[in-house]
Amino acid sequence: MPGKPGKPTKRPPLKPNADGVVLLSGGNPQIPKGYGNEPVQAYIKAMPGWKSDMGRRIDTLIEKAVPGVHKAIKWNSPFYGFEGDLWIVSYHCFDKYIKVTFFRGTSLDPVPPVASKTPDTRYFHIYEDKPFDEDQFTDWIKQAAALPPEKL
């Protein structure tokens, strides 16, 4: 039942799934902010459906491309980069895709295909039913890691 005009409609509280994780809009796991591999692995495990397998692939590709990469969960998303909150890439679940964020994306060649309101940022969307070019993704990760990272 809609709320009264001028009054916000109160949403019912979100309920945890079988693993005790709340899935936010688009199925994005609500994982507490934290640094290191453990919170990132908790996020990946909680990603719904095909996205969890893809999250493992993304994580593995980033680890291979950037040995010793630092990881964190910030804003309910995995972040990868360097010590001191210097981040190069992140990703986030949406209903039909995973949005990968390259914070210095306009410096990559080729530039990832999806523009952002933030001038340097570019996105790459991964869909279940479309091919995922691991070689291109790995190349972007290596290029991003070679750029001077920025603190977010």
pLDDT band of residue 11 (cuts 50, 70, 90) is low
Share of the chain above pLDDT 90, in %: 75
Residue 82 maps to a domain: yes
Q: What single string gives the DSSP state of each residue in 99-150? A: EEEETTGGGSSSPPSEE-SSTT-EEEEEETTS---HHHHHHHHHHHHHS--E
∠ CA 33-29-150, rounded to 5°: 45
Which pLDDT score is estimated for 70? Answer: 97
When comparing pLDDT for 6 and 35, which is higher? Answer: 35
CA distance linking residue 28 with residue 93, whole number of Å: 5
Residue 7 maps to a domain: no
Q: What is the CATH number of the domain that holds 52?
A: 3.90.1150.200
Residue 119 maps to a domain: yes
Instruction: Round to the nearest angstrom and report the end-to-end CA distance of the chain.
Output: 40
pLDDT band of residue 30 (cuts 50, 70, 90) is confident
When comparing pLDDT for 16 and 126, which is higher? Answer: 126
Residue 15 maps to a domain: no
Residue 85 maps to a domain: yes
Tally of structural domains, the chain: 1
Which pLDDT score is estimated for 28? Answer: 81
Residue 59 maps to a domain: yes
Which pLDDT score is estimated for 6? Answer: 64
Inter-axis angle of helices 50-65 and 37-46, to 10 degrees? 150
Residue 39 belongs to domain spanning: 25-151
State the average pLDDT over residues 88-107.
Answer: 96
Which pLDDT score is estimated for 103? Answer: 95
Residue 100 maps to a domain: yes
Residue 46 maps to a domain: yes
CA distance linking residue 137 with residue 152, whole number of Å: 22
State the average pLDDT over residues 23-51.
Answer: 91
Which pLDDT score is estimated for 9? Answer: 63
